[in-house]
Each structure stands twice: as C-alpha cells, then as structure tokens.
C-alpha cells in the first residue's frame, strides 16, 4: 500500500508545512501550552498528594493518641478518609475539580466528600480546566483541521491535483500520503507530552506502579487514534467540498458540535432523563426510612423491643442485666447495621441513576469519538466519576468496619451497669487499621469499555475505507 | 430595496449560513428549556425544605409534652434559601453545583456550611448549556462564520475591484452587509431573550434591558474583531483561522489561565483545617471541666451570664456552650478563609477584563445572582441565621424556661435578603466606550482597504 509515490507525497506535504511560519508559531505556542498544563497539573497533583497524605497521617495520629475513652464516644469522634489523587491525574484532571477530597467517618451517619476545588466553576470552568488531556481533546483537532482542510480541495482549486494525476499519482496515494504526513506531525506533536508524563509519573516513586507505563501507552494509543479520526474527517470533508473555505467552515462547525455542543446537550439530557436525588431529598428519604425502623438510642423503641426479646431468648436469660455481654453495645451494632443497610439502599439508587446517565452518553460513542476518548482517558487516569464513587464506597466500607469494631468493644468490654461512666484502655486504639485507598487495577478501570471501543474504531476505519473507495475517487476525479 | 432583497438572499443562500443560524436557535431553545427545568427543581427543593420543616414543627406541637429545649434544638434543622431570581434559569452560575436550600441547626456551625449538593461530576465537567453559554460562547462563532469572509469572498469572486470602482464606495457596500448581519443576529438574540422572559415570566425591568444592552455591546465587540481581521485584506482562510484563534484565546484559554492562576494564588486548606481542629476541640471538651467551659462561653455571650451553675447531671446548656466554643476556636481560620475568598473574588473581577467573554459571563452570573460572590453572600446569611437560632434556644436553656407550643410557633424562620441588584452604569458605559473605540478603529482601517 505504501509505495514510493506515497512517500513522495508524504515528504512533500511535510516540506510544505515546514515552510509555513504561522504553523510553526501555532505549533510552538500549543507545545508551550501543553508544557504549562502538564507542569501546573503536576504541581497541583503534588500539592494535593502531600496535603492528603499529611492530613491522613494526622488523623491516624489523633486516633491513636486518644486517652482511655468510652467506645461510643470514640465512634462519635470518628475518623477521616482522604482521597489521594491518582498518579496520572496530572495528565487528565477529569472530574477532580467537582468532587470532594475528604469524608468524615462517624457513627450513625454517612457523610459525603467535602472540600472540592470548584470555586467560580460556573464562570471559569465552562470548558473545564487547561489539562494536557483537554488540550489534546479540543485544541489539537482544530490544528489538524487547519493543517488539512485544504489538502484535497486546495489541490483541486489550484489545479495541482490534475497535474498530480497526470503524473500517475492515484487519489489513494494522495490520501495515504497526506494522512501519513498529518499522522506523523500529530505523533511528533503529542509524543513529548507523553514522554514528559512518563518521566513525571516515574518520579512519583511509591505511587508509580508497573501499571502506569501500560496506562500511558494505552493513553497514547487512544490519542493517536483520536488524531486519526480527525485526520480522516478532515480529508473526507476536504474531498467532498469544493472550496477550501467551505471545507474549513464545515469542519470547524463539526468540531464545535462534536467537542462542545453535543457533550453538553447529552449530559443535560441524560440528567433530565435519569435524575438523581438532590442532597435534601436524599437525606430526607434516608431519615424517614430510619425513623420507620427505630431509634437505637431509645431503649423503648418498638423495633428494639423485639430485638431485646430475641437476644434474651438467644442467650437464655430473662433480663438484659443477666446477659454475658453489654446489651447497649448489641443495640448499637444492630442500629448501625440497619442504618447502613438503609443508606446503602438509597445510595445504590443514586449510583444506578449515575450509571444510567453514563450509559446514555456512551450510546453516542460511535457518533462522536470525542466522548469515547474523553471517558476512556479519564478511566485510564482514574479520574472519572466511577473512580470517585469507588473511593466513596471504600470509605463507607471502612467507616462501617471501624464503627462496628467499636460497637463490639462496647459490647464486650463495657459493663451494662453504669455504661456511660466507663472507659476502655487506650491501647485498644492501636488495633485499628489506617484507611488506605486501594487504587483499582487496570481491568476494573476499563471494565465499562469492554467492547465500547470497537464502534469508534470502526467509524475511523470506515472513514478511511470510504476515502479510499472507488466512489470517492470517481467523485474527486470528476471535479478535476 | 432591490439591493436589500438581494443581500438577504445572499445571506440565506449558503447552506452553512443557514445551518449555523439554525444551530444557534436550536441551542438557544434547548438552553432555555433546560434552564426552566433546572430552575424549577431548585425552587422545588427550596419550597419542599420549608414544607418539611413546617410538618416537623406541627408534628412536635402535636405531642403531649414538648421535649427539653436542648433536645428540640438538636433536631431542629431549619431550612435556608439562596434567593434566586428567575434569571438563574438562564445564567446558572454556581446554583446547580451548590446547595440552594441548606439546613442549619444550633450545633457547631462550621461542620454544617461546607455541605455539597449531590451532582454528577461528569455532567459538571462538560460545562453545562445555559443561555449564558449560548450568548457568551456560541454567539461569537455565529458572528464569525457570517461575517469574517465577506470581503475576501468578494475578492475571490472578482467583485471587489468592481465594487471599488463604483461611485458609492465599496466600504459602504460592506458596511451595509455587516449591518444586515448584525440586524439578523440581533433579532435572533432578542427573540431568544424575549421568549425566555415570557416562559419564565421575567419582568421587563432594568435587568432585562441590561442583559439586552450587554448582549448588544458584546455583539458589537465581535463584529469589531471581525472587521479588524477583514481590514488586513487577507484570504478567507486566513480570516477564518484568525477569528477562530481569537475565539479560542478569549473563550477558552484566558478563562482557564485565570482559573489556574486563582487556584494557585488563593490555595487554601482552611476548611479542612477547620474541621480537623473543631473535631478535636469538641471531643476534648468532654474531658474538660464543664463549669469552666460554660464560664468561657459566657464571656463570649454575656447576655446569658445570669445562668445557674452546672449540676452533676448532663446539661444541654453545657453541650451547646462547647459547640459554640468550637466555632470560636476556628473563628480565625474562618475569617482567613473569608478574606481569602474575597481577595479571590476581587482578583477575578480585575482579571476578567482580560477577556470580554469572561467579563460578559461574570456579569451575566452576577445579574442572575448566581456568581460565587452571591454564593458567599448566601453563606454569610446562613451564618447570621445560625446565630439567630442559637440565641432563640439559649433563652430556654440558660434560664430554664420550658418551651411552650407558642414558642415552637414563634421559632424564627430564615428570611433571605431581598434581591437588589445594582446595575453598574459606569461599567456599562466604560465597556461601551472601549468597544465603540475598537469598532471605530476597525471601521477606519476597513475603509482604507483598497484592492490590490
């Protein structure tokens, strides 16, 4: 497929682009922009990683430094879970700005992550942040358009196409040569940022796992494919539309629709179609459900009356005072269990709505590869909604285990009589495991995309296929 | 008249021109529809919170005996409201990503005011599509596509030389074409605004006319940019790329650069520090001498000085005293956070002059009361209301007064400060002056353009 004519066109196209000073200028400017974005992303990542790690170790210290205390007091003292930023988040910030960084873990209550960095988001973040991923996703396609919009229609207009054809260059050679030259430029253009990202990622030390290079390699592949999509589209439009100016306007309109208008419309539409509950509604629903079950702090609550009878039966005694364990602790355990179940039920409903919204958007991956690459990139850098929710769930699991362990201490180490005035030894606090967020592995990160990448890839292939088709060749020849 | 008809025909003949205008209208209608829906959910949230509280209050008053004031205060989470004008439907600002009806009770304040609305972060990341977006970011592209190649097209078609030879200057021909495009786009914008006003029953008051005027000025700015680019007499392709680049710079790059700068310059961990400190203070309080805690509290709140000393048993007044003291403990951090926020707002104001798109966006959000400054203002109102609630309950707890049913009825409800958006005439005048100067300069340059 690649013969010397293709190579000639490839070299010629590169040479002609090399001569354009404005292209050089834009190239350098965007290269700079990428470097700035990567650098500030890196700084932000380091700052966040340090802050979270410091805060996490501070709360672990605070926990262990507690004096002799009643376990239930400790349960109210609570704990914190901090979200350490993912190692590649400096490349793609994803949804980081819109989600909180820390969760307060306490008894009876599931808090949400607080302290996000979305100040002035409604004014300043209407195009999201200036991350490397965002530049590659939105600005680089514009440059591909600028490079190639006139590649076929321009040759047509200036009459050089006729000359080329008379020299025996087929349309297929022309398209292949030009595609290759733009691909070459794209790779040269995006390679530095990936190499730099690899170097930076490697310098994170502990956070750098063997997976990181693999993730970066996949990122690189998907961004190259994304470039190919835009190259194909540009050449396609350039072949179909007669005047270069028309091709340019059409291409920028398509760019605007695919990267700016459509993602917004789909997101809003998905939200309308599958609305999740707002904070007040969500908390009210949980509160009402909890009320139905009963109040574990109220010893005469109907649900807990039954629980008492069952417990007494189980141990074969007639009063709670005769129980070998502290009944109040048992009540706490039961209450926490019920409460967590209710929360989980409502939380899962929310999760279902979130994933329904995401599924709705992902139906359009084939039509708009921008959406696919954006989501795939966020998944690879562990910065999408799903990864954040995974953190929330890990924190809740940790909260539940920690509180129930305290309730168990309450049951076993505190006497029922004069419960409130007792304390257990501070050595118990050393027996709790610290919260560490377990970063999901690559397989988990990519599981929603099992076959989703096939369609966008197919679209790219079909585009190049039709560019190389006889029909297209005839169409272009007819115009010469 | 004939010429006018011809011009109209030319404007609407190109498939792309029609497509772009259609896209603009579709996006606008979609944005208004979505905005109306979103605004409705915000209002329902606020309304529902009030009703729920009312129900709880009735529920409490139905009991035979009312609970102790301390216990009542513990469960009395009163609704507040971020007062939004219906303009918030069109310029959503921060209103969708933060609480518009947060609840507050008499316990420690700082743990209550950083609650976040539940949002799908993926949706937030896309940036949303409100009418503000259509006006600020889409409108300039429409202007660009319809205008920036006017002269180069004439040149390309070989008419430019001919037009220049006519007794009426070619400039006046181009000016007429520009005026026609301006009129068409302006009509579309007004149509969108008027229909939005009808749908949302917005009054045709000062804000409406300000929005219309500001949009008109903003249009003049982009027309001026287009004219300036045309005045260099380059090819259509050059013009299009130059216009697109200026759009990318003003709409995307400057705002994100400003965001980067602000988040670096005004980085603060105060909220986190506050919650960490407060937690430790609250917990250590249980191990401290309770009477001493109460005495310290009374120094801060001397109105309740005459309260009886604490007995042996658990007393709610000690509980609320130490809750408040934990707020006092972090008061400095809170002040620091507020100052930092304010400085950030001011810098944002100043830096927004770097990009008309950013400036326009900020002003629209401010007019709709949805900017982050308005959000901070709402938060302060919540803080004031929190004090009102505390003081309401203190009377009962510290002077051992039982709560009666009338007292429950008289519980103070949150009253949002009325909206009075001052319209800054000077700002409009100055921006108008700058924009018209630019337009004039571009027009003069265009007039001097001669066929090569």
pLDDT in tens, B214-268: 999 999 999 999 999 999 988 888 888 899 999 999 999 999 999 999 988 998 8
What's the rounded mean pLDDT across residues B357-366?
A: 95
| Cα B255 to Cα B238: distance, rounded to the nearest angstrom | 25
Q: What is the DSSP string of A31-84?
A: HHHHHHHHHHHHHHHHHHHHHHHHHHHHHHHHHHT--SB-HHHHHHH-EEEE-P
| Mean pLDDT estimate for chain B | 90
Cβ proximity of A18 and A179 under 8 Å:
no
Cβ proximity of B356 and B250 under 8 Å:
yes
Residue A428: strand, helix, or coil: helix
Residue A110: strand, helix, or coil: strand
Nearest to A251 by CA among B229, B227, B19, B226: B19
Q: What is the pLDDT of residues B185-222, one digit of tens each?
A: 999 999 999 999 999 998 888 899 999 999 999 999 99
Residue with token string 């993602």: A263
Cβ proximity of A201 and A216 under 8 Å:
yes
Residue ranges of chain A with pLDDT lower than 70? 1-2, 205-208, 296-297, 299, 479-480
Of B116, B244, B251, which is closest to A112 when you measure between CB atoms? B116
pLDDT score of B26 more than 90: yes
Interface of B with A in 8-67 (CB under 8 A): 16, 19-20, 23, 27, 30, 34, 37, 41, 45, 48-49, 52
Q: What is the pLDDT of residues A267-306, one digit of tens each?
A: 999 999 999 999 999 999 999 998 888 776 676 778 888 8
Candidates A142, A255, A280: best to mutate against B (most CBs of B within 10 A) is: A280
What separation, in Å, do the N-terminal and C-terminal C-alpha atoms of chain B show? 31
Count the Cβ atoms, other than its own, within 10 Å of residue A292.
Answer: 9
- Count: domains in chain B: 1
pLDDT, position A292: 84
Kindly state the tokens that stand for B417: 């400060």
Which residue segment(s) compose the domain that B115 sits in? Answer: 1-451
Find the length of chain A: 480
Cβ proximity of A247 and A150 under 8 Å:
yes
| Cα B361 to Cα B345: distance, rounded to the nearest angstrom | 14
Cβ proximity of A67 and A426 under 8 Å:
yes
Instruction: Tell me the Cα Rg of chain A.
Output: 30
pLDDT, position A205: 67
| Angular region, A120: left φ>0, alpha ψ -120 to 50, beta rest | left
pLDDT, position A453: 86
Does ipTM top 0.85?
yes
Q: Report the predicted TM-score, pTM, of the whole model to 2 decimal places.
A: 0.93
| Cα B311 to Cα B294: distance, rounded to the nearest angstrom | 12
A·B CB contacts under 8 A:
229
Q: Which residues contact B70 (CB under 8 A, 6 or more apart)?
A: B315, B316, B317, B319, B320, B393, B397
| Cα A52 to Cα A56: distance, rounded to the nearest angstrom | 6
**Contact (CB<8Å) A261/B27:** yes
What's the rounded mean pLDDT across residues B315-340?
A: 93
Query: What residues in A contact B362, CB-CB < 8 Å?
Result: 123
Q: What is the pLDDT of residues B412-446, one digit of tens each?
A: 999 998 887 777 888 889 999 999 999 999 999 98
- Strands ordered across the beta sheet of A102-106: A79-82, A102-106, A109-110
Give percent of chain B with pLDDT exceeding 90. Answer: 64
| Cα B121 to Cα A29: distance, rounded to the nearest angstrom | 31
A358 touches chain B (CB under 8 A): yes
Cα A332 from chain centre: 37
Contacts of range A279-283, beta carbons closer than 8 Å, 24 or more positions apart: A279/A112, A279/B99, A279/B115, A279/B116, A279/B117, A279/B118, A280/B45, A280/B48, A280/B49, A280/B99, A280/B101, A280/B103, A281/B45, A281/B48, A282/A346, A282/A350, A282/B118
pLDDT, position B117: 92
Of A122, A252, A256, which is closest to B92 when you measure between CB atoms? A122
pLDDT score of B166 more than 80: no
| Cα A268 to Cα A248: distance, rounded to the nearest angstrom | 29
Task: Give phi and psi for B304, each to the nearest 5.
Answer: -110, 25
Of B34, B111, B245, which is closest to A268 when you measure between CB atoms? B34
Q: What is the pLDDT of residues B116-151, one digit of tens each?
A: 899 999 999 998 999 999 999 999 999 999 998 887
Nearest to A205 by CA among A100, A50, A380: A50
Residue with token string 């002059």: B353
B232 touches chain A (CB under 8 A): no
């Amino acid at each position: 497929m690649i013969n010397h004519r293709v190579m000639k066109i490839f070299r010629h196209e590169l040479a002609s682009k090399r001569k354009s000073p404005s292209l050089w200028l834009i190239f350098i400017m965007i290269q700079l922009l990428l470097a700035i974005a990567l650098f500030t992303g890196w700084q932000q990542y380091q700052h966040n990683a340090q802050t979270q790690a410091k805060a996490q170790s501070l709360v672990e210290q605070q926990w262990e430094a507690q004096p002799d205390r009643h376990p239930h007091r400790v349960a109210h003292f609570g704990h914190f879970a901090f979200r350490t930023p993912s190692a590649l988040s400096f490349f793609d910030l994803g949804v980081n700005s819109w989600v909180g960084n820390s969760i307060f873990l306490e008894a009876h209550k599931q808090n949400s992550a607080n302290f996000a960095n979305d100040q002035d988001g409604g004014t300043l973040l209407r195009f999201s942040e200036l991350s490397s991923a965002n530049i590659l996703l939105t600005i680089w396609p514009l440059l591909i358009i600028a490079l190639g919009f006139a590649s076929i229609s321009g040759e047509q207009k200036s009459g050089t196409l006729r000359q080329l054809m008379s020299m025996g260059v087929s349309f297929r050679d022309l398209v292949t040569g030009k595609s290759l030259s733009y691909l070459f430029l794209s790779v040269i253009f995006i390679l530095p940022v990936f190499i730099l990202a690899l170097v930076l990622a490697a310098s994170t030390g502990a956070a750098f796992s063997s997976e990181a290079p693999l993730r970066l390699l996949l990122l690189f592949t998907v961004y190259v494919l994304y470039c190919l999509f835009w190259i194909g589209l540009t050449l396609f439009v350039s072949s179909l539309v007669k005047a270069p100016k028309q091709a340019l306007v059409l291409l920028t309109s398509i760019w605007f629709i695919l990267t700016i208008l459509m993602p917004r419309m789909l997101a809003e539409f998905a939200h309308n179609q599958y609305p999740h509950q707002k904070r007040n509604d969500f908390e009210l629903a949980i509160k009402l459900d909890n009320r139905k079950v009963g109040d574990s702090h109220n010893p005469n609550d109907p649900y807990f009356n039954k629980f008492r009878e069952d417990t007494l039966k189980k141990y074969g005694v007639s009063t709670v005072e005769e129980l070998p364990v502290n009944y109040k602790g048992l009540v706490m355990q039961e209450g926490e269990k019920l409460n967590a179940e209710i929360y989980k039920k409502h939380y899962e409903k929310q999760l279902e709505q979130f994933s329904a919204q995401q599924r709705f958007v992902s139906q359009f991956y084939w039509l708009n590869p921008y959406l696919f690459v954006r989501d795939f990139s966020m998944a690879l850098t562990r910065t999408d909604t799903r990864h954040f929710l995974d953190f929330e769930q890990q924190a809740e699991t940790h909260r539940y285990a920690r509180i129930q362990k305290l309730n168990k201490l309450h049951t076993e180490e505190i006497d029922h009589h004069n419960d409130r005035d007792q304390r257990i030894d501070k050595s118990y606090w050393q027996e709790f495991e610290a919260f560490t967020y377990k970063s999901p592995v690559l397989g988990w990160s990519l599981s929603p995309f099992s076959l989703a990448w096939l369609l966008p890839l197919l679209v790219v292939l079909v585009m190049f296929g039709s560019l190389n088709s006889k029909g297209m060749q005839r169409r272009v020849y007819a115009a010469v | 008249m004939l010429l006018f008809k011809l011009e109209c025909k030319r404007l609407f003949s190109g498939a792309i021109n029609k497509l772009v205008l259609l896209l603009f209208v579709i996006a606008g209608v979609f944005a208004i529809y979505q905005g109306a829906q979103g605004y409705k959910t915000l209002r329902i949230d606020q309304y529902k919170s009030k009703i729920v509280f009312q129900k709880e209050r009735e529920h409490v008053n139905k009991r035979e005996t009312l609970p102790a004031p301390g216990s009542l205060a513990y469960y009395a989470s009163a609704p507040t409201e971020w007062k939004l004008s219906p303009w918030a439907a069109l310029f959503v600002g921060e209103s969708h990503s933060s609480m518009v009806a947060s609840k507050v009770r008499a316990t420690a304040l700082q743990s209550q005011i950083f609650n976040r609305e539940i949002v799908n972060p993926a949706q937030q990341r896309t940036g949303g599509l409100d009418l503000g977006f259509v006006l600020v970011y889409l409108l300039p592209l429409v202007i660009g596509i319809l205008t920036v190649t006017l002269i180069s097209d004439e040149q390309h078609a070989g008419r430019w030389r001919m037009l220049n030879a006519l007794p009426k200057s070619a400039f006046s021909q181009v000016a007429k074409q520009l005026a026609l495009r301006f009129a068409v786009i302006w009509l579309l914008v007004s149509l969108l605004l008027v229909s939005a006003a009808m749908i949302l029953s917005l009054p045709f008051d000062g804000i409406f006319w300000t929005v219309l005027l500001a949009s008109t000025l903003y249009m003049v700015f982009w027309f001026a940019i287009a004219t300036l680019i045309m005045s260099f007499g380059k090819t259509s392709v050059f013009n299009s790329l130059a216009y697109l680049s200026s759009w990318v710079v003003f709409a995307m790059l400057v705002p994100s650069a400003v965001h980067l700068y602000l988040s670096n310059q005004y980085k603060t961990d105060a909220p986190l520090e506050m919650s960490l400190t407060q937690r430790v203070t609250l917990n250590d309080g249980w191990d401290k001498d309770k009477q001493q805690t109460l005495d310290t509290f009374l120094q801060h709140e001397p109105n309740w000085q005459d309260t009886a000393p604490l007995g042996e048993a658990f007393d709610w007044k000690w509980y609320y005293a130490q809750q408040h003291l934990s707020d006092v403990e972090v008061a400095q951090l809170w002040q620091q956070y507020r100052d930092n926020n304010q400085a950030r707002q001011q810098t944002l104001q100043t830096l927004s002059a770097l990009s008309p798109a950013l400036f326009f966006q900020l002003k629209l959000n401010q007019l709709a009361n949805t900017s982050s400054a308005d959000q901070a203002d709402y938060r302060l109102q919540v803080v004031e209301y929190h004090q009102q609630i505390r003081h309401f309950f203190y009377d009962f707890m510290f002077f051992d007064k039982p709560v009666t049913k009338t007292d429950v009825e008289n519980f103070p409800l949150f009253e949002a400060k009325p909206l009075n958006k001052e319209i800054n005439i000077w700002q409009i005048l100055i921006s108008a002056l700058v924009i018209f100067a630019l337009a004039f300069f571009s027009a003069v340059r265009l007039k001097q353009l001669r066929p090569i």
